[in-house]
Amino acid sequence: MHERSSVDELAKQLRSELDRYSAGGKLPSSRSLVERFRVSPVTVARALAQLAAEGLVVTRPGAGAFRAQPRTPAAPAGDTSWQEVALSADGSADLVPRTVDASGVTICLAAPPPGVLEFSGGYPHPSLQPERALAAALARAGRRPGAWERPPLEGLPELREWFARGIGGGVTAAEVLIAAGGQTALATALRALAPPGAPVLVESPTYPGMLALARAAGLRPVPVPVDPDGVRPALLADAFRCSGARVFVCQPLFQNPTGAVLAPGRRAEVLRIAREAGAFVVEDDFIRRLVHTDSGPLPPPLAADDPDGVVVHVASLTKATSPSFRVSALAARGPVLERLRAIQVVDTFFVPRPLQEAALELVGSPAWPRHLRSLSAELTTRRTAMTAALRLRLPELALPHVPSGGYHLWLRLPDGADESALTAAALRAGVAVIPGRPYFSAEPPAAHIRVSFAAVSTTADITEGVRRLRTACDEIL
């Protein structure tokens, strides 16, 4: 049984038995709970922690768990209706409303209901994460001399150097800032490069979290279509000319959601077009380490071919490790680097030093290349299983591009199909998928869904999930 569901079931059982104990009464020992319910000590500890977080029990190291004292009645709810007026007035002069719509992001982050297979996930399944290597790295990091001291504001020099070497092209550690995850780095870049109300060019389709960041900053996303070879340079030049934008955000490698890789002949064109427009390119290199075994040599980051400081590069360790291991880098050349640094310091001060030390321990260990090789092989197997299952059971869903990296597929629905209805039907059938609409900043050219092959536990789950999706398609299409 999946660890998460075991924890939830044990917590539910213990919650139902709390009335047996008086306030302050001692619950059975962890050892007795392990023996009674035939679960692991970790499951017991997590279930008790869940009850403690709900205020139902109190845990005391060395003494055990006790039923909590009765809660004080909640204070009467206040009247927050005044905020509707205050927030509306605050945005009345904005060229672009700065409302925050997180729906496109939360659908990738939220766990599906029990029994529903997760084709919607934005991160690899825990079985694909290097949990032991991460635990060992954290333990070693915590024992490093000075590990709990304040780090340099820009990040540890050794970690900045490691990211700089990964970018290449003469990028130095002095041109790298350590940030708290790719989303934070993107937010910093957008704030640094464009004032509220300005247009920002984005790939179409593109990552919903980036669209949400842009809109929350008061920016106006302008779409530039992507094909299997990446963004189309002629349309990019047109978009710069028509919009007056000074920023273009792109994912040149295994683009989300299409999986496209920017073709060699287009790389120099994109940089030239941006340079002539006096614009920056924000390169979101979020998934370079989730390469498949059949991909061949990877192209270097755009930043490696950019001596003029056009590219602001974002790299992250999160996708290849764990959703909670939020360590990333921002790299830039020229005066913009100081602006990025100032915004980051104001927003977050710095990334916690123990996390940076753990990142150094992890990437410097023999376990790191072993994990990347294992992850690459498993992602390739899963992609192959999903593409085969889709072609067999759902040939009416077009798969225009099979990516050689990443963790998902982008499927076009038949003309006239309702992707929202299909998403709802899929959930009823027991599989969660992501509708395509949130990936477009303007009207989409067709209905799509995105399906992940990395968030479920096995290839058998992939086959079963496609079967359930077939059931949903039979209901809707």
CA atoms within 13 A on the CB side of 177: 31
Q: Are 239 and 218 in contact (CB under 8 A)?
A: no
- What percent of the chain is modeled with pLDDT above 70? 93
Does the structure show a pLDDT above 60 at 258?
A: yes
- Residue 29: which residues within 8 A CB-CB, separation 6 or more? 64
Position of tokens 């360790």? 317
The residue type of 172 is T
Token pair of 140 as six digits: 């070693």
253: nearest Cα among 297, 209, 218, 298: 298
State the Cα–Cα distance between residues 447 and 419, nearest whole angstrom: 6
Listed as own residue / partner, the contacts of 143-151 with beta carbons closer than 8 Å and 24 or more positions apart are 144/357, 146/353, 147/353, 147/354, 147/357, 148/353, 148/354, 149/353, 150/350, 150/353, 151/350, 151/351, 151/352, 151/353, 151/356
459-476 vs 419-429: helix crossing angle, rounded to 10: 130
- Residue-wise pLDDT tens digits, 303-344: 999 988 999 999 999 999 999 999 999 999 989 999 999 999
pLDDT for position 72: 67
State the Cα–Cα distance between residues 445 and 410, nearest whole angstrom: 14
Lowest mean pLDDT among 108-122, 132-146, 240-254: 108-122
| 386, 387, 393, 395: CA torsion to nearest 10 | 150
- Residue-wise pLDDT tens digits, 170-192: 999 999 999 999 999 999 999 99
Q: Are 373 and 172 in contact (CB under 8 A)?
A: no
Position of tokens 């496109």? 104
Q: What is the largest CA-CA distance in the chain?
A: 74
Count CB atoms within 10 A of the CB of residue 116: 18
pLDDT for position 95: 63
Token pair of 470 as six digits: 């077939």
State the Cα–Cα distance between residues 378 and 133, nearest whole angstrom: 18
Cα distances (angstroms) measured from residue 377 to each of 172, 240, 253: 32, 40, 18
Token pair of 369 as six digits: 């290349």
The residue type of 82 is W
Q: In whole numbers, what is the pLDDT of the chain averaged over residues?
A: 90
303: nearest Cα among 440, 169, 120: 169
H helix or E strand, kind and range, residue 10:
helix 3-16
3-class SS shares of the chain: helix, strand, coil, % to 5: 45, 15, 40
Token pair of 286 as six digits: 């979020």
Token pair of 238 as six digits: 């047109």
pTM above 0.85, yes or no: no
Count CB atoms within 10 A of the CB of residue 142: 13
Q: Are 125 and 456 in contact (CB under 8 A)?
A: yes
pLDDT for position 91: 47
Q: Is 66 exposed, middle or buried (0-12, 13-18, 19+ CB in 10 A)?
A: middle
Strand partners, 57: 67
Q: DSSP letters of 300-355?
A: PPGGGG-TTS-EEEEEESTTTS-TT---EEEE--STHHHHHHHHHHHHHS---HHH
- Residue-wise pLDDT tens digits, 384-424: 999 999 999 999 999 999 999 999 999 999 999 999 999 99
- Residue-wise pLDDT tens digits, 267-314: 999 999 999 999 999 999 999 999 999 998 999 999 999 988 999 999
Count CB atoms within 10 A of the CB of residue 278: 9
State the Cα–Cα distance between residues 214 and 219, nearest whole angstrom: 5
Q: Which domains are present in the chain?
A: 3-67 (1.10.10.10), 103-128+369-476 (3.90.1150.10), 131-363 (3.40.640.10)
- Residue-wise pLDDT tens digits, 148-166: 999 999 999 999 999 999 9
- What percent of the chain is modeled with pLDDT above 90? 71
Token pair of 234 as six digits: 């002629």
The alpha carbons of the chain give a radius of gyration, in whole angstroms, of 24
State the Cα–Cα distance between residues 236 and 234, nearest whole angstrom: 5
Note the Cα 459 to chain centre separation in Å. Answer: 22
Residue 3 binned pLDDT confidence (cut-offs 50, 70, 90):
low
Does the structure show a pLDDT above 70 at 82?
A: no
Question: Residues 105-132: what's their mean pLDDT?
Answer: 88
Q: Are 37 and 10 in contact (CB under 8 A)?
A: yes
123: nearest Cα among 326, 276, 386: 326
